[in-house]
Amino acid sequence: MGRGRREKSEFGAYLVQAIKDANMVQEEFYTAVGIKKPYFYDILTGSPPPQNTLEKMLEVLEKKLPPDKSRRNTFFNLAAKCRQEIPADIVDLIKDHPDKWNEIRRKLNELFAEQL
């Protein structure tokens, strides 16, 4: 009995398109990132990788594509959405500025109060 194909996650579909946009084949991409084929396919259909691997993936893509803040944001947003987490770059910003936590909290409360 053959293995069934699993559907790509939203992050996986975005990553596949980014690889195509970079004029790379998937094998070239995952080899450049330093991961093996089975793990790459797990990333496409399951949970996105940890932040250090996401950073490496972006680094590989940006060698072939012009830097694009929107791509970077979408990349982190989709990875976090698939994991039901806050995007890693936002977490880093908050962690790196503990003296601003009250201000961040206040701003978030204001932002979300406007939406109610």
| Per-residue model confidence as pLDDT tens for the chain (116 residues) | 445 567 899 999 999 999 999 999 999 999 999 999 999 999 999 889 999 999 999 999 999 998 888 998 999 999 999 999 999 889 999 999 999 999 999 999 999 987 65
Evaluate whether 80 touches 87 at the Cβ level (below 8 Å): yes
- Residue 44 sits at the vertex; the CA angle it makes with 91 and 19, to the nearest 5 degrees, is 90
What confidence tens digit (pLDDT) does each residue in 52-85 have? 999 999 999 999 998 888 998 999 999 999 999 9
Does the predicted model carry a pTM greater than 0.85?
no
Region of 52 please: left (phi>0), alpha (psi -120 to 50) or beta. alpha
